[in-house]
């Protein structure tokens, strides 16, 4: 037997130490620490259901990057990242609301696009300090209805906020935040009962001053009665009043001396105020977004109320010196997620239901024989009543769900018939989903939707009273 050189002995020793270290790290990664439950915050991104929470392990912080129990990359005991991706690919077969020369209904168009293509990350900076960042390419590749050109706009930044927990009853966030406008608008996009948010959930955003129901601002939220009551209240940019000027603007729309002088810069009006209170009678919901399907894992019954307000001063443009009615929005909802055989973390059959009412008034008042008598603060949000009824049933063993929903937008009789003809709408939708992967990680969906215009006979020129569309969706999701 030959003699092994000392250099080789040292090499073997070093390799053995390295292998033992790697094996120890792998074993620690696979085994949850004793007594651990679920990881704390941050609240889930808009694309995900509420993330379970675990208490931090009692072992010392790792000296290297490790993979935590929820697939997060841990840099320290309270410092970690978690990444996610979502793709919602759509094929849509939609009917035009354009009467043909012979009096027939409109024909159909095909459109293939990515309804939501998203990348996002959540994480913890130090104890009780969190962040959430979400990039989205919305309606990516969708064809323009006139030119036919496909939209390849750059992804936009949606969620982007930091959050700190001072106490269970007081969390504080700042950045671009999902506004707590309605129950349906606060649901995760990956767990919708149907394939998309309701049409009426966008009513508070019709003024065009939000980014996909989000806005820049600061929000407080908190929980009471063992997390059964949650409140959210925040101030946001909303609409910023234009600058007050004297003189005339240039052909490019800028104020250039000496023909134009700025008397007051833009944005002197008060911010937008949005608030929400929810009560859960059974299981609690503590996520950034909640609801939709829980796939039999939670038993939820609750109610929610929402309030939305902003006003332009008399001294603000447009029409400086004239009164402007405030914008006001109210929403109320009742919701249920009923596991038929009781809650099961591995999933089970589930019955889901949502009833949501909304009342909105942007402040504009119409005069049939003259310009509006009051421009209001949000003139694009006509005075109206909204209704959403939605229900679904998830068959766990068969890996599919059935759903149906009804929506209604009814404009006030304060407005003239031509406005009501294009604004009053009813939506009827039904469909089916098949879940290839567990829960919402991969599914296919097919939805039929009928859109009726009950006052179509009042339109000038006349338009058909309704349209049909069929949408096929393939969703892939990882978080």
The token pair that represents 108 in the structure block: 């159909």
What is the predicted pLDDT for the residue at 223? 98
Contact 332, 357 (CB under 8 A): yes
User: Residue 131: beta bridge partners?
Assistant: 123, 162
Rounded distance, CA 47 to CA 157, Å?
A: 14
The token pair that represents 348 in the structure block: 């089970």
pLDDT tier for residue 21 given thresholds of 50, 70 and 90: very low
pLDDT digits (tens, 9 = 90+) for 318-348: 888 888 999 999 999 999 999 999 999 999 9
In degrees and rounded to multiples of 5, residue 118 shows phi and psi of: -135, 145
In a domain, residue 4? The reply is: no
For 13-25, what is the mean pLDDT? 43
DSSP string, 409-428: EEE-TTS-HHHHHHH-EEEE
Looking only at the bridges linking them, the beta strands covering 442-452 and 466-478 are antiparallel
In a domain, residue 2? The reply is: no
For 81-85, what is the mean pLDDT? 94
In degrees and rounded to multiples of 5, residue 303 shows phi and psi of: -135, 160
Tell me the CATH number at 413: 2.40.160.10
In a domain, residue 25? The reply is: no
3-class SS of residue 184: helix
What is the predicted pLDDT for the residue at 88? 97
In a domain, residue 239? The reply is: yes
The token pair that represents 405 in the structure block: 């929903």
Percent above pLDDT 70 for the chain: 86
Rounded distance, CA 471 to CA 86, Å?
A: 18
For 371-383, what is the mean pLDDT? 89
Q: Is residue 77 predicted with pLDDT exceeding 60?
A: yes
pLDDT digits (tens, 9 = 90+) for 178-235: 999 999 999 999 999 999 999 999 999 999 999 999 999 999 999 999 999 999 999 9
Taking CA atoms, 199 is separated from 117, 133, 173, 449, in Å, by 20, 25, 28, 12
In a domain, residue 322? The reply is: yes
In a domain, residue 74? The reply is: no
Write down the residue that tokens 């603000």 correspond to: 316
User: Residue 471: beta bridge partners?
Assistant: 92, 447
Q: Is residue 397 predicted with pLDDT exceeding 70?
A: yes
Percent above pLDDT 90 for the chain: 69
Looking only at the bridges linking them, the beta strands covering 108-126 and 79-95 are antiparallel
Name the residue range of residue 296's domain. 83-478
In a domain, residue 290? The reply is: yes
Looking only at the bridges linking them, the beta strands covering 214-224 and 260-264 are unpaired
Q: Lowest-confidence range among 67-76, 87-96, 410-419?
A: 67-76
Contact 201, 184 (CB under 8 A): yes
Rounded to 5 degrees, what angle do the CA atoms 465, 466, 467 make? 150
Per-chain mean pLDDT for the chain = 87
In a domain, residue 94? The reply is: yes
The token pair that represents 4 in the structure block: 């092994």
Q: How many residues does the chain have?
A: 479
What is the predicted pLDDT for the residue at 106? 87
Q: Is residue 433 predicted with pLDDT exceeding 70?
A: yes
How many structural domains are present in the chain?
1
Rounded to 5 degrees, what angle do the CA atoms 153, 158, 163 make? 160
Q: Lowest-confidence range among 58-62, 127-131, 251-255?
A: 58-62
pLDDT digits (tens, 9 = 90+) for 256-284: 998 999 999 999 999 999 999 999 999 99
Select from 235, 332, 198, 329 the least CA-distant residue to 278.
332
What is the predicted pLDDT for the residue at 352? 98
What is the predicted pLDDT for the residue at 30? 39
Q: Lowest-confidence range among 368-382, 395-409, 435-449?
A: 368-382
Contact 84, 45 (CB under 8 A): yes
Q: Lowest-confidence range among 6-15, 18-27, 408-417, 422-431?
A: 18-27
Q: Is residue 456 predicted with pLDDT exceeding 90?
A: no
Say how many Å lie between the first and final Cα of the chain, rounded: 56
pLDDT digits (tens, 9 = 90+) for 355-364: 999 999 999 9
What is the predicted pLDDT for the residue at 20? 41
């Amino acid at each position: 037997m030959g003699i092994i050189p000392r250099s080789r002995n040292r090499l073997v020793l070093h390799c053995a130490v390295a292998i033992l270290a790697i094996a120890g790290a792998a074993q620690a990664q696979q085994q949850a620490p004793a007594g651990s439950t679920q990881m704390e915050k941050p609240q889930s991104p808009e694309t995900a259901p509420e993330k379970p929470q675990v208490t931090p392990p009692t072992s010392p912080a790792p000296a290297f990057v490790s993979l935590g129990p929820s697939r997060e990359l841990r840099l320290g005991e309270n410092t970690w990242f978690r990444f996610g991706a979502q793709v919602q690919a759509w094929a849509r077969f939609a009917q035009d609301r354009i009467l043909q020369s012979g009096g027939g209904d409109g024909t159909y168009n095909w459109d293939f696009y990515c309804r939501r293509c998203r990348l996002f990350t959540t994480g913890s900076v130090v104890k009780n300090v969190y962040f959430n960042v979400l990039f989205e390419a919305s309606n990516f590749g969708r064809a323009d209805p006139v030119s036919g050109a496909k939209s390849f706009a750059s992804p936009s930044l949606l969620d982007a906020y930091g959050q700190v927990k001072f106490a269970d009853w007081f969390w504080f966030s700042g950045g671009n935040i999902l506004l707590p406008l309605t129950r349906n608008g606060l649901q995760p996009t990956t767990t919708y009962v149907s394939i998309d948010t309701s049409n009426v959930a966008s009513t508070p955003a019709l003024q065009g001053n939000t980014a996909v129901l989000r806005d820049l601002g600061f929000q407080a939220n908190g929980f009471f009665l063992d997390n059964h009551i949650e409140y959210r209240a925040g101030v946001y940019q909303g609409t910023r009043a234009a600058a007050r000027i004297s003189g005339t603007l240039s052909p490019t729309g800028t104020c250039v001396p000496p023909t134009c002088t700025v008397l007051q810069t833009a944005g002197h009006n008060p911010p937008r105020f949005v608030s929400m209170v929810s009560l859960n009678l059974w299981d609690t919901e503590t996520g950034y977004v909640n609801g939709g399907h829980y796939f039999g894992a939670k038993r939820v019954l609750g109610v929610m109320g929402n309030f939305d307000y902003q006003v332009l001063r008399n001294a603000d443009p447009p029409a400086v010196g004239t009164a402007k009615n405030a914008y006001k929005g109210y929403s109320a909802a009742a919701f249920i997620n009923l596991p038929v055989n009781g809650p099961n973390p591995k999933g089970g059959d589930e019955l889901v239901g949502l009833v949501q009412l909304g009342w909105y008034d942007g402040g504009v008042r119409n005069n049939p024989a003259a310009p509006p008598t009051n421009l209001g603060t949000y003139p694009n949000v006509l005075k109206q009543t909204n209704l959403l009824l939605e229900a679904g049933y998830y068959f766990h063993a068969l890996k599919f769900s059935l759903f149906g929903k009804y929506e209604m937008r009814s404009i006030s009789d304060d407005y003239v018939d031509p406005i009501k003809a294009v604004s009053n709408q009813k939506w009827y939708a039904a469909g089916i989903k098949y879940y290839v992967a567990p829960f919402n990680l991969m599914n296919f969906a097919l939805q039929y939707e009928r859109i009726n215009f009950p006052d179509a006979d009042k339109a000038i020129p006349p338009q058909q009273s309704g349209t049909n569309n069929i949408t096929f969706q393939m969703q892939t999701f990882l978080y």
